[in-house]
Amino acid sequence: MRMSDLLRLGKEAMLFAAGIVIVIGILWFVGYRVIYRKCLHGKKTIKVPQLIWAAAMIGYLFVVLYATLVRGGYYAGRPHLVPLSSYRQAWYQFNVTEWRNLILNICMFVPLGILLPRGIRFFRKAYRTYLAGFLMSLAIESVQLVAKRGVFETDDIINNTVGGIVGFGLFYLGAWIVDRFRRMKHYDLKKALLCQIPLVVAVAIFCTVFVVYDHQALGNLPCDDVTAHHIPEVTLADGVQLSDDAASPMIYKMKIYTKEETHALAQEFFAKYGLDIDETRNDLYNDTAGYYSEDGALDLWIDYRGGTYQLIDFDKSHPQDGSVCEYLKDADEATVRQYLENSGIAVPENAVFARLENDQYRFDLDGDVIEDQYLHGSLRCSFTQAGDIVQLDNQFIACDSYRETDVRSEQEAYETLCTGKFRSYDWQDTDKMEVTGVRASYSADSKGFYRPVYVFMVRTDTTDGLEIAISCEK
């Protein structure tokens, strides 16, 4: 989600909450001013600060409800109950979105920690505000689970509770400052400073994580995010032999494009068609950039990692004269390669060709080293009968040599596999696992480095053909 999307969500939530506050305000005015004061001749008054606090509290609660329960649609997901699992995921993936969501979940409950003790004396005991933040978060997560409006996550409760704690600290510090101006002594300086410890610790933890990551030469490998599995028996299939030799393979580095570089690529691509970019429609996300031609014919999306891209020519897929696009059917590999070459797109020689359904064609390359570059990926395309590109999804990535690295042998990696410490999203608990093969491969880390791994093909009581990657660097 882009920052503009977050701002739009915030605007929608504020408008939703403002509408609710206005409705409640009208009902209050009728009930208090008309019925209570005029008809019943009530004497009790409500001060303006109390009204402001009530409006702010109601508005805040409905903003939170909109952001967590109202927006979006039906979503049923398995609860995430392991504490700090989202932090592990954010560390190993290390993208802006993951960390931003964690920080936003903390910030979302900071106003609660400020507003509750500001308006209700009962909550000026710290533990009561902390407990209120915890219970409110638990209630939201429970409703998400029951109503299937999101995923129940333990980390959301932790982050929200921390936000409430930080908010109370800010309230207490602000109250102490106001106390000093009024020459009063309701709030203690020592306690005000102690209440800032959660904020200082939270900021220190996030800063430390970002600094440590920034100083790492390499990124984090997904397969290093291991989970311990209990597997009583691990065996090798007949004919499978593991090497005790350890080599020094190369680490490769993919290019990470900036937004400016993707814009230059888009300009170059559109120029081949004699078109210009419609600068008013550029869609810039955290991991990809979308560009459109001025006449609306071309859509081009370019990923920052590796410069892979997806192109659609709407003039070809949906001709303006209302006719139906006649796709190229049953073409051979040489013809498809030639049409791609005519458009300035080179396909690696070792890529495997296949015809797909819907008159599409595909090339796959499962890793190959050509002239000190590591190439891998796939390309899917379709053409008109005249050989013009209709759709193109080019996921080929070329990575330059970075440096050699020392690795473990296949046997050592197999011993790691036997301990049950590995990452597999498709894993199901089993009493027996049989290794049917192993191959050397590469896996991209969070900084765009392709690093050597061993991929074990395994068979279990419940799954056949499962692949498990084990990092092989020492």
**The pLDDT of residue 340:** 95
What angle do helix axes 154-181 and 126-147 make, rounded to 10 degrees? Answer: 150
Q: Which amino acid is at 367?
A: G
CA separation for the pair 381, 251 (Å, rounded):
30
Show the tokens assigned to 368.
């190959």
> Residue 146, class by beta-carbon neighbours within 10 Å (0-12 exposed, 13-18 middle, 19+ buried)?
exposed
Evaluate whether 265 touches 257 at the Cβ level (below 8 Å): yes
> Which of these, 155, 293, 242, lies nearest to 417 by C-alpha position?
242
Q: Which amino acid is at 209?
A: V
CA separation for the pair 394, 265 (Å, rounded):
14
Q: What is the pLDDT along the chain (474 residues), one digit of tens a residue?
A: 666 777 788 888 899 999 999 999 898 888 877 777 777 767 777 888 899 999 999 999 999 999 888 876 666 667 888 899 999 999 998 988 899 999 999 999 999 999 999 999 999 999 999 999 999 999 999 998 888 888 899 999 999 999 999 999 999 999 999 998 887 788 889 999 999 999 999 999 999 999 999 999 999 998 988 888 888 888 999 888 998 887 789 999 999 999 999 999 999 989 988 899 999 999 988 889 999 999 888 999 999 999 999 999 998 888 877 788 889 999 999 999 999 999 889 899 899 999 998 899 999 998 888 888 899 999 999 999 999 999 999 999 999 999 999 999 999 999 999 998 888 877 777 788 899 999 999 999 999 999 999 999 999 888 888 899 999 898
CA 119, 120, 125, 128 dihedral sign is negative
Evaluate whether 393 touches 381 at the Cβ level (below 8 Å): yes
Show the tokens assigned to 420.
């049950």
CA separation for the pair 289, 285 (Å, rounded):
6
**The pLDDT of residue 32:** 75
Task: Please give the angle made by the CA atoms of 293, 295 and 297, to the nearest 5 degrees.
Answer: 70
**The pLDDT of residue 1:** 60
**The pLDDT of residue 292:** 95
Show the tokens assigned to 378.
């796939």
**The pLDDT of residue 247:** 79
CA separation for the pair 418, 411 (Å, rounded):
11
**The pLDDT of residue 62:** 94
